[in-house]
Structures are given as C-alpha cells and as structure tokens.
Chain A
Amino acid sequence: MANGNPTLPALLGPVQSAGQCLLFLLRMLAGIRPRLDLIQSTLQQTYLIGARSLVIIMICGFFVGMVLSLQAINALEQFGASDQVSLLVGKSLFRELGPVLTALLFAGRAGTSITAEIGLMRATSQIDAMQLMAIDPVQRVALPRFLAGLISVPLLTAMFNALAILGSVIFAVGVAGLDGGIFWTKLQTGVYFGKDFIGGVWKSLVFGGIVSLIAVYFGYTSKPTGAGVGTATTNTVVLSSVLILIFDFILTSFFV
C-alpha cells in the first residue's frame, strides 16, 4: 500500500479499516444459525452487558428526567405554559435524549468491557488457541456479544425513558406542584406513537448495532499487548461516541 505518495496511505487508512469493519460484520452475520449454544451464550452476554448496565442507566435516566423538567418549567413559566412540560420532556426524550444518552452510556459501560475482554483474549493467545482447535473465534466470541448489544440497547433505552418520565413526574407534580392529570394528558395527546416512539426505537437499534460492532471489532483487532488493549478500549469509546452523534443527525434528518 505504501507507494510513492505519502499522503495516500494516511487517507486510505480509515477507509480501509471501515471496510475491514464491514467485512467483519458480514463474517459475523454469515454465521447466524439458531443453534442452542449461540442462544445460550447470547443470553449470558445479555446478562453481562445488558442487565448489569441496568442500574447506571436507570439512575441516569431518572436524573435526566428531573433536570429536564426543572429546566423546562423554568423556561415555560415565562409564557405561562408550564403545563406543556410533559410534552417537551416526552418528545425530547423519545426522539433524542433517550437513544443518544443510553447509547453513550452503553459505550462507556459495556462497549469498553467487550473490547478489553476480547483484546485480553487476543493478548493471552486464547483466540489463537480457538483457531487451532478449529473453532471460529468470530462466531464463538464476537457474535454473541454483538447480538447481545443489539438486543440490550433498545431495551435499556426503554428503561431510560421510563425512568426519565418517572423522574419528570416526580419533579413536575411532586416538587413544582403541576397537575398530574394534565401532565399525563399532554403526554398522551402530544407524543405520537408512530413518529416519536417508534422513531426512537429504530434509532436505539442502530446505535446498539454501531456500539457493539465497534467494540467487538476493536477488541478482535487489538494488538496483543497491554498497551494495544488500552488503545483499543480508548478507540472504542471515542469512535462510538462520535459515530452515535453523527448517525443521530443522519437518522433524524433523513428517516425520522
């Protein structure tokens, strides 16, 4: 690849890794069979990266809901429109904050651990050992983690949103003294199931795929050294955060 022009490889590097990443995804997807051991290991990974992320997601969601309604009430009070707070909280949560914040938290909480785990397996030659035993490490190690991430992120987003709505109710009704009936009615008439809710679910599914793919890919391709695993983990967080925000804009402007 390194011929003559020194800027060309530097430009082609990211393109090449993107292509590698895509091929890696195809290689994983090509091996999906409804086998019992795949289902079992996917479930186990769902527990490790999904269920174990639940507490942090719930706490964050709760406080995001509280602070959202606090700020919204402050701003809406100036127009005497503080009754609309649930509409603002609901729409911004379902469409943007829920999927994006959950995916960012998931990248920090679970993406890193996936990369570090697979990277360490690479560093301690466990992946090479699997290949020697004619076990495909992509199917055995990468695929269950990818699928578990894909399943977990939409569900975690739902939990995040639910707790945020709860936090918003507690603040708006309990602390700020708004009427509970109006809060729920505004939510049920103003937030659209098709546009807002389903749009958010699609987004979170895409984000789940992005974060898990990047985490698995960087772990699998990390250099088999301590520093290599560290770099791979950092890259996972940085790249998935950037891609989440970029794809958020793309998805919002073209599809939702």
Chain B
Amino acid sequence: MRANYKVELASGIFLLLGIAALVWLATRATDYGQDIGKDTYTISARFSNIGDLRDRSPVKIGGVTVGLVESIELDTVSFEAIVNMSIARQFNEIPTDTGASILTSGVLGDRYVGLEPGGAPDFLADGDELFITQSALVLEQVIGKYLFNAGDGNKSQDKESE
C-alpha cells in the first residue's frame, strides 16, 4: 500500500494542477469574469443602423465601461434596431436626456455604445429608453456621400438637410 500511496498522491497533484490551469485560463485569458456583475438595470435605445455592434459589446461613458450590450433586436414595424443594454447598478445617476451613439475604438477596432450624459435632473431607471441616438458611421456610406457631394455641388446638401 505504501508504493500506491505515492502514485495516488502524484496523480492527485496532477489532477489539481490540471484543474488549476483550467481555472487560471478561464479567468485570466478569456472574457469570463469580465462581466459587470449581477446587479444591473436595463435601458434601451433605437438606432437606424448599428454597424457591426454585437452582444456583449461594451457601453461606455467617457471611455469607461459602465455596461454591456445585452441583446439586439429589430423593430418589425419601423425597422429600427433596438439595443438593450445592462448598466451596472453603481452607475444609477445617469440623466434621462443622455444621448447614445455607436462608436468605433480605433480605426479598425470593435464597436461600442458611447453614452453622452445630458443635464436633466431625473435619472434613468430600469426599462427606460434613450431618445437621442446617433447611428454607426458606416465607412462605405461616408465615402459614398463624400463622392456624391463632391460631384453634385450644393444640390445634394439641400437633400441632406431635409
């Protein structure tokens, strides 16, 4: 039994090491635990174009992550994208007239939702909707518009302002 004891100890150490490696990898090298915690409230916003925003994209105020995109759905009547975001409860003093825009981190970076706090005295609560929104800048459209404007002079600018 003495010889077996050593073997069993060694295999026990092996099992522990393996599980420790699994846990270390999961928590340190993946997005596990990057959550914003369980204590959140949900707000939504409508955009005409969300670009390539995805579930779990960050929601930021002034560059600091305050929440995550929880789900994205399409309004089947108005064909707008409804983005539901969960915001950590500790940021519960965001004014109701806050604007939301879809931005890109860096030139080729990931999309995120940027919140621009307004000055209203009331704060957003669970289930509220943001009304001031700005859609994602789609590079092809921007270039297309630029070319169109350059060729067409003032006429297209009138169209823009409509």
Contact = CB atoms under 8 A, between A and B. Distances in A.
B92 interface: no
Which of B19, B30, B34 has the most CB atoms of chain A within a 10 A radius of its CB?
B30
A54 B8 contact: no
B74 interface: no
Contacts of A51: 10-11, 13-14
Interface in B1-51: 4, 7-8, 10-15, 17-19, 21-22, 24-26, 28-32, 34
Contact of B32 (A47, A54, A155, A193): A193
Contact of B30 (A40, A47, A192): A192
Contact of A154 (B12, B18, B24, B34): B18
Q: Which of B13, B22, B110 has the most CB of A within 10 A?
A: B22
Interface string A113-145: 000000000000000000000000000000000
A94 B108 CA distance: 24
Contacts of A191: 29-31
A44 B7 contact: yes
Q: Which of A44, A81, A162 has the most CB of B within 10 A?
A: A162
B11 A44 contact: yes
A47 B18 contact: no
A189 B106 CA distance: 15
Contacts, number: 91
A49 to B, nearest CB: 10
A178 interface: no
B29 A155 contact: no
A155 B15 contact: yes
A165 B25 contact: yes
B34 A188 contact: yes
State the majority secondary structure of interface residues on A.
helix
A236 interface: no
Category for how many chain A residues contact B: 20 to 34
A151 interface: yes
A207 to B, nearest CB: 15
Interface string A182-198: 00100111111100110
B21 A193 contact: no
A69 interface: no
B18 A197 contact: no
A81 B17 CA distance: 34
Interface string A81-110: 100000000100010000000000000000
Contact of A155 (B22, B24, B110): B22
B29 A46 contact: no
A67 interface: no
A28 interface: no
B31 A189 contact: yes
Contact of A44 (B4, B29, B32): B4
B31 A158 contact: no
Nearest to A201: B22
A182 B57 CA distance: 18
24 contacts: A43-B12, A44-B8, A47-B10, A47-B14, A50-B11, A50-B14, A51-B10, A51-B13, A54-B14, A94-B29, A152-B14, A155-B14, A155-B15, A155-B18, A156-B18, A158-B25, A159-B18, A162-B21, A165-B25, A165-B29, A188-B30, A189-B34, A197-B32, A201-B22
